[in-house]
Structure 1
Amino acid sequence: MVSTVVAPLFQPIQLGPLTLRNRIFMSAMTRNRAVPTNVPNSIMVDHYQQRATSAGLIITEGVLITPQGSEWPHAPGIWSKEQVAGWKNITDAVHKEGSYIFAQLWHLGRTSHPDAPEQKAAGVPVYAPSAISARGGKFRFISGEPGYVTPSAIDDPTELLDLFEKAAVNAKEAGFDGVELHGANGYLVHQFLDSTSNTRQDSWGGSVANRSKFGLLALERLIKVFGKDRVGIKLSPSGGYNDMGMPLDETIETYKHFISEADKLGIAYFDVVRYVPAFDVEFEGKKRATPHDAIDIYKPIVKNAKFFSNGGFSAEEAAAFVKDGKVEGVFFGMGWISHPDFAKRIENDKPLDNQIDWTTLYGKYYIGEEEQNKGYNSYPAAQY
């Protein structure tokens, strides 16, 4: 019998046309296993299928919508027929276990690097809203110690919106139940929202409404393909990752406007990441993030979509938040890495006692599938 403490997490929830069996969701986590060509492979099938046995909803790792020079080599993409076929194997496996899976659609914007193999293959510059580089960056697989470069300001952002729409078309062909727009962690959509990375003087920058425009139009493109009740978005209003963060008043004004307008589109959910100190960054002795209570501030704005959160929750805390109506479901990350049966362990009061092997978390850059399996599919399930 499920403990009364965590019982709220095991109430089914309706997400658009989907009935999710519980409210313990698997967050997007880059794992670098699409070796060597950005195509999802058999060990990725095993990974997602293991976790689909108990997850209420799975969000894929970030899926690149076009070749980009990522800090994360071997991240999977969704621009080719081979990639669509690879993802179809994964969605079929997840559905076989009775779970659902959304593709997180990802464009890195200014956090790409022109010397990365993927960016070279794309044959295009590193694009962003404005020609402003992010501080930091660790491209360990490129010789030397390169950091982020100054990007080229995109002349016509609709070209990037076209990429999101095409990725959604491919995701639908691959059998995904929906798509999540990656609007967090300092990547492209976030870069348009934030006034420190978007200093445009045209209709794509300046005012809150103009800075919100790209993300809202991207959502409209995804809705065009999947329908509004199969589209979600991840946001990190308080996070400073990838050199992001506006003053508090501007942050709250921006995200209140964006969330309100996105909610009017009728999307399925928001995943609003709360402030996590471990993911804050420091430059010149100052923290970059804008800490504030993202749940208390933004939840009341949402009238139509489901409101989920993310960021260092324990199972007990997540259950309390659901019980109190603060959120309607919670995404977990690290727990799913080392526990393929994470939700089942919580349900059966089993300890979360597998320790993450940090040396294999992101795999090795240029080795085969067998070695990549270590620290990926090698964590044992509990005995029941």
Structure 2
Amino acid sequence: MTTTKALLQPLQLGDITLKNRITMAAMTRNRTEDTYPTELMKKYYVQRAQGGAGLIVSEGILVSHQGAEWSNAPVMADEKHVAGWRVITDAVHQAGSYIYVQLGHVGRLAHPEARQQKLSGLPVYGPSAIAARGGKFRELPGVPGYVTPVAIEDPWVLINQFKQAITKAKAAGFDGVEIHGAYGHLIPQFLDSTSNNRTDQWGGSVENRTRFALEIVKAAIKVFGKNVGLKLSPAGGQNDVGMPLQETLETFSYLVSEADKLGVAYIALVRYTGPVEIDGVDRATPHDVIESYVPFIKRAKVILNGAISLEEGESLVASGKVDAISIGLHFIAHPDLARRFEREIELDRTPDFERIFPKVGEDLSLGYTDYVAVVA
């Protein structure tokens, strides 16, 4: 079928060619069994591969056992993790799509009483001993809040956790890796002067605060070559990070420029979608991420994320402002989202928000694999 729609044109991304420019964003879905992938998870990913997604980015996978707020989040730490994800990546490839792994570390957003954190035998780490405000953990009673982290003495310890997970992800058959540098997780904690008050080579200047992210990107390129992405949310706010506008612009323009020079396949930018209030204070930094950062990206592809409709995405790609779009929530209720766009069938479902994260004892397929495709 020949089409002139911009979103349906192929896209060279690193060493692979995507069949279209509609990518599925990483989304936490909490369906693992004790951090290991399952057959149900394979079905979920295959449904969306069969539905025409040009690229699927896995749910956020932690690089080590951490006490995250998601009790059933996946981890990439041992050979059983590798084998389980290999089943999924093979199935996605057979269904006609590509799949990147998203790897991240929650840093100070972990909790010492969470089961996985206890199993790790490690404290909750952050760049500095500065606690994030807020914090609710689904496996802990009440609202315990975030704790003051232990300032990591040597950040190379954490970078090495990323290196090990990246190597395992390659063995698991992923086509590339997206480094999670968004939503107030560990990388933004190093980037942000409100969570990083270090006075060594990892803090202070823009160059020092971006060093942690760039060293992880370098490690990823050594394993995956060109097939590396970096996801960033410069408008901030989530999980109590966010700097004044000028500092934000200086930090992220330098970071995207340096990552681009290293040869990443893409930079995924999460745009400003509204205020993020924490303890009565809006932590977001409103600004146009396309206008602010795309001029600093010379070689990498630009993928935009953040409440984007297919119609808006078509306009943005057709105008050359971005190369592709990343969609999250709509892919939950519409596994055939890309095929619907191709056939001009509207997105007519709303995700069941009560079941995005399953309740204890609930049928895990509900709100997950029970959305039936209407376009083959």
**Bucket of the pairwise TM-score, normalised by the shorter protein:** over 0.9
- Residue 90 (str. 1) matches residue 88 (str. 2): yes
Q: Could you say what secondary structure the match of 2:238 adopts?
A: coil
Query: Which string of whole-angstrom CA distances, capped at 9 and with x for unpartnered residues, describes residues 99-130 of structure 1?
Result: 10000001000000000000000010000100
Aligned CA distance change for structure 1 residues 283 and 224 (closer, same or farther; 3 Å): same
Q: Could you say what secondary structure the match of 2:40 adopts?
A: helix
Q: State the AA in 2 paired with 1:379.
A: Y
- Residue 361 (str. 1) matches residue 356 (str. 2): yes
- Residue 312 (str. 1) matches residue 307 (str. 2): yes
Query: Which string of whole-angstrom CA distances, capped at 9 and with x for unpartnered residues, describes residues 219-271 of structure 1?
Result: 111111111x1111000000200001000000000001111111110111000
Q: State the AA in 2 paired with 1:341.
A: D
**Residue 245 of structure 2 corresponds to which residue in structure 1?**
248
**Residue 160 of structure 1 corresponds to which residue in structure 2?**
158
2:61–2:76 CA contact under 8 A, matched in 1: yes
1:350–1:382 CA contact under 8 A, matched in 2: no
- Residue 287 (str. 1) matches residue 285 (str. 2): no
d(CA) in 2 for partners of 1:214 and 1:168? 15
d(CA) in 1 for partners of 2:158 and 2:123? 13
Q: CA deviation at 1:287?
A: 0.9
d(CA) in 2 for partners of 1:383 and 1:22? 17
d(CA) in 2 for partners of 1:285 and 1:134? 14
Aligned CA RMSD, in angstroms, stands at: 1.2
Name the TM-score, length of structure 2 as normaliser: 0.98
d(CA) in 1 for partners of 2:289 and 2:202? 25
**Residue 345 of structure 1 corresponds to which residue in structure 2?**
340
**Residue 70 of structure 1 corresponds to which residue in structure 2?**
68
Q: Could you say what secondary structure the match of 1:238 adopts?
A: coil
d(CA) in 1 for partners of 2:160 and 2:139? 30
Aligned residues: 375
**Residue 172 of structure 2 corresponds to which residue in structure 1?**
174
- Where structure 1 has 5 or more consecutive residues not aligned to the other structure, the ranges are none
**Residue 374 of structure 1 corresponds to which residue in structure 2?**
366
Q: State the AA in 2 paired with 1:376.
A: Y
Q: CA deviation at 1:2?
A: 7.7
Name the TM-score, length of structure 1 as normaliser: 0.96
1:2–1:348 CA contact under 8 A, matched in 2: no
Which stretches of structure 1, 4 residues or more, deviate above 6 A after TM superposition?
none
2:270–2:305 CA contact under 8 A, matched in 1: yes
Q: State the AA in 1 paired with 2:296.
A: I
- Residue 124 (str. 1) matches residue 122 (str. 2): yes
Q: Could you say what secondary structure the match of 2:347 adopts?
A: coil
Once the two structures are aligned, what percentage of the paired residues are identical? Answer: 53
| Stretch moving more, 115-124 or 374-383 | 374-383
Q: CA deviation at 1:3?
A: 7.6
d(CA) in 1 for partners of 2:330 and 2:86? 25
d(CA) in 1 for partners of 2:173 and 2:375? 32
- The aligned runs of 1:159-308 (5 Å cut-off) are 159-227=157-225, 229-277=226-274, 280-308=275-303
d(CA) in 2 for partners of 1:355 and 1:143? 30
Q: Could you say what secondary structure the match of 2:83 adopts?
A: helix
2:99–2:176 CA contact under 8 A, matched in 1: yes
Q: CA deviation at 1:188?
A: 0.4
Q: Could you say what secondary structure the match of 1:62 adopts?
A: strand
1:239–1:276 CA contact under 8 A, matched in 2: no
**Residue 104 of structure 2 corresponds to which residue in structure 1?**
106
